[in-house]
Amino acid sequence: MIEKIENLISQAESFNAQTADELEQFRVRMLGKKGEVTELFNQFKNVAAEQKKEFGQKLNQLKNQVQDRVNELKAKLEAHESAPTGMDLSLPPGGFALGTRHPVNKVMNEIIEIFARLGFTVSEGPEVEDDYHNFSALNFAPEHPARDMQDTFFVAGRPDTLLRTHTSSVQVRTMEGQKPPIRTISPGRVFRNEAISARAHCIFHQVEGLYVDKRVSFADLKQTLLYFAKEFFGPGAAIRMRPSYFPFTEPSAEVDITCSICSGKGCNVCKHTGWLEILGCGMVHPNVLEASGIDSQTYTGFAFGMGMERIAMLRYGINDLRHFFENDLRFLKQITD
């Protein structure tokens, strides 16, 4: 009898079922009312007293073994049924295809980090602005051409509401809400009604910086920008300043860096000058400070602004600005550093 039980145990161990029917038949043959296991339980009363212990233990082992095997096969068959055919469920998962950050985003984060080391905080403001914060508070004369319909996207039917043309508007909002010392940069999207080409787009990104305190000088501006150029483009980078005009700064300058493509030797990208323009800057015009309630007798400040796409083009050697807006994965996947 013990031998028979052991035989059944090994049968249960090696039993396999291809279909639910086969499995059910096995279950009935073993555990059904007239099943082999049930029969053995019925015979328990006839077993000699000294064998009862061993017999009972073996019999329980058999019953558990059969029950476990049935449950195991049942789960397997059910999983198989719900799976699409042709799939190997025993394979390990394939892993996720991770995306990468957009090049403009990377450049922006790097710039934020560099200026954070100099104590600049990040400020943000609305993309839909009013004329006051985008122009008037920045000392734009009422008839200034930048307000012209050609350059600015106005909201239809609301001549006072527009898409900001630069993030200098955020600087105005910061000055309205804070007292000097102010040291902040404002990264963000800006909009200009321009024809789309390899060098221009109607949407792009800027980072503008503002520093207002007592005795801030043009030398501070120059040193800050030189530090930025060396941190971002490498220790060999040099800058030069050319006089320029912006309504909100006086004096104003445009800043060039040594061409990162030819290291200043002269190439097609820098039109053989060895220099590339990267930003506009200047000392904050007293009218701008006063418009935001800052005493221009006590405080001075500098401001600068640069286009992210242009910086990203230089960093990654990209020759067409439109790539940044097309979201073509073949382009984006190449920029992984």
**Nearer to ligand PHE among residue 79 and residue 141 (C-beta):** 141
Q: Which of 65, 168, 184, 260 contacts ligand PHE by CB under 6 A?
A: 168
The least distance separating ligand PHE from the CB of residue 282, rounded to whole angstroms, comes to 5
- Residue of 205, 221, 242, 218 lying closest to 103 (CA atoms): 205
Among 246, 275, 299, 324, binds ligand PHE (CB under 6 A): 246
**Nearest distance in Å: CB 316, ligand PHE:** 22
Number of residues that bind ligand PHE (CB under 6 A): 11
Which residues between 52 and 111 bind ligand PHE (CB under 6 A)?
Answer: none
Helices of type H across 145-237 = 168-177, 218-233
CA 242 to chain CA mean position, Å: 36
Nearer to ligand PHE among residue 58 and residue 285 (C-beta): 285
Sheet holding 128-130, edge to edge: 128-130, 158-163, 154-155
Name the closest residue to ligand PHE (Cβ): 305
Rank residues 187 and 280 by Cβ distance to ligand PHE and give the closer one: 280
Nearer to ligand PHE, 246 or 299 (CB): 246
Its sign, for the CA torsion 39, 40, 44, 46, is positive
Using CB under 6 A, which residues numbered 222 to 241 contact ligand PHE?
none
Check residue 239 and give left, alpha or beta (phi > 0: left; psi -120 to 50: alpha). beta
- Map residues 205-224 to x or -, x wherever contact with ligand PHE holds by CB under 6 A: ---x----------------
CB of 257 to ligand PHE, least distance (A): 16
Q: Which is nearer to ligand PHE, 26 or 135 (CB)?
A: 135
Q: Which residues in the 261-280 window bind ligand PHE by CB under 6 A?
A: 280
Cβ atoms 183, 221 nearer than 8 A: no
Specify the 3-state DSSP secondary structure of 252: strand
Burial class (CB in 10 A: 0-12, 13-18, 19+), 178: middle
The yes or no reply on residue 249 touching ligand PHE (CB under 6 A) is: yes
> Residue 322 Cβ, how far from ligand PHE at the closest point, in Å?
20
Which one, of 315, 302, 292, lies nearest residue 118 by Cα?
A: 302
Q: What residues from 113 to 152 belong to the interface with ligand PHE (CB under 6 A)?
A: none
- Sign (positive/negative) of CA torsion 89, 94, 95, 96? negative
Residue among 65 and 206 whose Cβ is closer to ligand PHE: 206
237, 224 contact by CB (below 8 A)? no
Nearest partner of 2 among 73, 49, 59, 45, judged by Cα = 59
According to CB under 6 A, which one of 163, 259, 281, 283 is a site residue for ligand PHE? 281
AA identity, residue 332: L
Stretch 296-335: interaction string toward ligand PHE, x if CB under 6 A: -------xxx------------------------------
Among 103, 180, 187, 282, binds ligand PHE (CB under 6 A): 282
Compute how many other C-beta atoms are within 10 angstroms of the C-beta atom of residue 64. Answer: 12
- Name the residues that contact ligand PHE, by CB under 6 A: 166, 168, 208, 246, 249, 280-282, 303-305
